[in-house]
Structure 1
Amino acid sequence: MAADDRTLKEAWSSIPSQGEVGIGLERFTGQRMERILSTVGAIGSAALGAQALTAAVTRLNQPDAAHLGMMALVFAPLLWMIVACLIGKGVKPAAGTFTVAYAAALAVWPVVVDRTVREPSNQPWIFFLVNIGVVAAMLAFTPRVQLIWALTLPILYGWVRLVQGDFEQSWWISTGFDVTFTIILGSVIISLAWMFRQVAAGVDEARAQAVEGYASAAAASAAEEERVAMSALMHDSVLAALIAAERAGGERERALAVTMAREALTRLANTEASIAQEGSDAPVSRAQIVAELRRTLSEQGVDAVVEERGSAEAEVPGKVARAMVLAARQAIGNALAHAGGRGLHVLAESASPDRLSVTVVDSGPGFDPEVIGEDRLGIRASIIARMAAVAGKSRIDSDADGTTVVLSWEPS
């Protein structure tokens, strides 16, 4: 049995916790915007890259090693960048590699190009990729570096074109037009990307502030409601029971004090239960209790299950069922708050039709129940006192491997 319990605990501890699943959601809009920018960049790069490749192949008069090496230097990183943008992985390394490779290709262009072709108005195939280099810089670098590349690449292209034309006057007009056009278009690309990213960051920040504000307000409201309820109960039921116990002189008075104390503990343990929930004490089936526990897990957003074992026809009194459900809710809340929901597992077991136990297990860091402060009522009032008020039992075992809370009831 011990080996089976250890195997079960190891299996449940391998399930990712709620906190682990939620990592990265604080930048949801920003991540979606980056995905959109990379996808649009891949589509534009593919279109202009195909145009540049067609021009390079059709104008290849001398298919020597220099020209082929130049094409490989440019189009291999470009293909890598397009694939990385489409699959959404390794975008920054691929885009940065293409930016540097394209700048290197521009730098050696005057050495490789055939200078016998004197057509200043006919742009070479490498011109079609100038703004693709700007797009790659936008995907790979910070805004300041992006602006530098948006100016550097067009100016570098203009310089190598003038070198190719030996700085003749006819080359200045067409080259100046090309450089001006690419600088303007590159600046627009960088500005739009910066604007979209700022909007996405603002949405993420507003969402985080709204969630934080709502959580703070909800916590403050719950704490205030609990304080008021606890104060009323302590003033009325609990103190009245203590006074009756102090003044009890005979057997009848002592029995009455015990009854008052039990009722006070019941009301104290069920502080958060509404009057409608208290209802009658008609028998409640195990299926109803399991349904309530599953609803609790669903409301908490926890991907955990409630396992059932033993007699499916088991029933317990209504007060017992309510106390057990509320105590199990508290144990589940403790597992979420202190263990991050790691390895959370709930077991409802019936050894016989009139007996029921609920076990809440997690694989968190554990704690020492003996060192819990006297003012912390999460375990003492909400679990131990609640089960004691209905003549039930509660057992809490906790160590470095996790925490197990067992709630059980059987007829006396």
Structure 2
Amino acid sequence: MPAADARAIRAAWSQIPAPEAGSAQFERFTGQRMERILQIVAALGSTVLGAQALIAAISSLSTPDVPRIAMMVLVFGPLLAMIIGCLTGRWAKQTSGVFAVAYVVALLLWPFVLDLSAPAAANDQPWIFFLVNIGVVAALIAFPAPLQFAWAAGLPFVYGYVRLVQGEFAQGFWITTGFDVSFTLILGMVIISLGWMFRQVASGVDEVRSRAVTAYAAAAAATAAEEERVAVAALMHDSVLAALISAERASTDRERDLAVAMAREALTRLANTEASFAQEGNETPVAVSQIASELRRSLSELGADAVVEERGAHAVVPERVARAMVLAARQAIGNAFSHAEGRGLHVVVDASPATPLRVLVQDNGPGFDLDSIGEDRLGIRASIIARMAAVAGTADIRSDAAGTVVELTWRQR
């Protein structure tokens, strides 16, 4: 295989995931999208509830109170960082984890900043309690599933304990705190369960996607192998078979020299590691002048004195088209050497702006009857006509006693 082709194949395969590893690009595509959705929803909800808590906190500061201000900084600083991290998608897990821990610490410290000498009503809700469910949401974003459920189950009871401390464990506080803890516990479990469910669905989609990519990679490899087999078979027919036929039919020194040259050219094609048209090609633009260069090289390898004439060959065509035209023209040139001994061989590459791309291969041989060629002879049918048809081109072959003209045409669609 030519070195350029080997490099191209390695580059292509580097973009396809290994079957056992999956695709790094697609492995968590849906999962990452789901994480962003959860982060944005968490940021929006936290903004609304955080604003309510902030207003309540500010309104509760009748006089400068350093402990309460420090508590506000401890809670709202990490909360703001969490909202920004979730909205931007940067450091979302880290900032959410910091808030989840900071909120638990603030909740545990809350009784120590209270003025327990002042009576508290059971229905009064201090501002810090508005953020209990945000603490659960922060755990959803930051922590693995077991810790999320632990946070959702434990945080309401911490909240309940602090409420009872605030109410000095009075009977009225037990009832309202029981309702609050039950509601917060149920809501927290629902939040964590929904997040877990959405992530599981996204993980399932990513797994199916990974399997599909793996299956596609295997199918692509099989297709590439089949295309390579077809290309090698065509090359063998175009070059080696023609050389063998010429050697078998050679009866003069000139014919033997031509057969040797054709055999050398065939072996060179198989072993040449720098051939620029050694792959099937793609849509990469190729200058038409390169077609002429390839045909000149082929004639040189055959030891022919024929000329390749270029007419307006500054246009570009897809690489697959250029390759097809070069190979079809090589087959026509090989036929001209095999059956007309290369007499009057002339090649024209015409890419005039107002006309389709054309490659003409002419000789002054005795000609032949196209209809009389046996079905087992594939040189013209497969290597010229079918090859041009494969790239939506045409091959017109005219032959009589004055010679043979093979006209290959491709029109830009």
TM-score (norm 2): 0.59
TM-superposed CA distance for 1:54, in Å, is 1.1
Match of 1:288 among 300, 312, 315: 315
CA distance in 2, matches of 1:322, 1:273: 16
TM-superposed CA distance for 1:256, in Å, is 3.9
Quote the residue 1:118 is aligned against. Answer: 120
TM-superposed CA distance for 1:229, in Å, is 4.9
Quote the residue 1:140 is aligned against. Answer: 142
CA distance in 1, matches of 2:139, 2:25: 24
Deviations 1:168-187 (A, max 9, x none): 11111100111111111111
Deviations 1:298-329 (A, max 9, x none): xxxxxxxxxxxxxxxxxxxx639999xxxxxx
Q: Is the 8 A contact 2:53 2:130 kept in 1?
A: yes
* Alignment-mate amino acid for residue 84 of structure 2: V
May I ask how many residue pairs the two structures share in their alignment?
279
* Alignment-mate amino acid for residue 319 of structure 1: V
SS of corresponding position for 2:28: helix
Give the alignment of 1:303-382 within 5 angstroms.
319=326
Which 5+ residue runs of structure 2 have no aligned equivalent?
1-13, 16-22, 271-276, 283-290, 296-307, 331-413
* Alignment-mate amino acid for residue 148 of structure 2: Q
Match of 2:193 among 188, 191, 194: 191
Q: 1:221 to 1:25 in 2, by over 3 A?
A: closer
Quote the residue 1:53 is aligned against. Answer: 54
Give the alignment of 1:8-407 within 5 angstroms.
24-115=25-116, 116-231=118-233, 234=236, 237-239=239-241, 241-242=243-244, 244-245=246-247, 248=250, 250-258=252-260, 260-261=262-263, 272=280, 283=310, 287-289=314-316, 291-292=317-318, 319=326
Q: Is the 8 A contact 2:26 2:210 kept in 1?
A: no
TM-score (norm 1): 0.59
The CA RMSD over aligned residues, in Å, is: 3.6
Q: Is the 8 A contact 1:284 1:321 kept in 2?
A: no
* Alignment-mate amino acid for residue 50 of structure 1: A
CA distance in 2, matches of 1:135, 1:121: 25
* Alignment-mate amino acid for residue 92 of structure 1: K
TM-superposed CA distance for 1:219, in Å, is 1.5
TM-superposed CA distance for 1:232, in Å, is 6.2
More deviation in 125-134 or 223-232?
223-232
CA distance in 2, matches of 1:243, 1:207: 52
Deviations 1:190-224 (A, max 9, x none): 11111111111222222222122112112212312
CA distance in 2, matches of 1:284, 1:201: 59
* Alignment-mate amino acid for residue 229 of structure 2: R
Identical positions, percent: 59
Q: 1:190 to 1:319 in 2, by over 3 A?
A: same
Q: Is the 8 A contact 1:230 1:271 kept in 2?
A: no
CA distance in 1, matches of 2:43, 2:180: 23
CA distance in 2, matches of 1:288, 1:164: 86
CA distance in 1, matches of 2:198, 2:172: 40
Q: 1:282 to 1:155 in 2, by over 3 A?
A: farther
CA distance in 2, matches of 1:110, 1:156: 12
Which 5+ residue runs of structure 1 have no aligned equivalent?
1-17, 297-317, 324-412
TM-superposed CA distance for 1:85, in Å, is 1.0
TM-superposed CA distance for 1:45, in Å, is 0.3
TM-superposed CA distance for 1:50, in Å, is 0.6
TM-superposed CA distance for 1:165, in Å, is 1.3
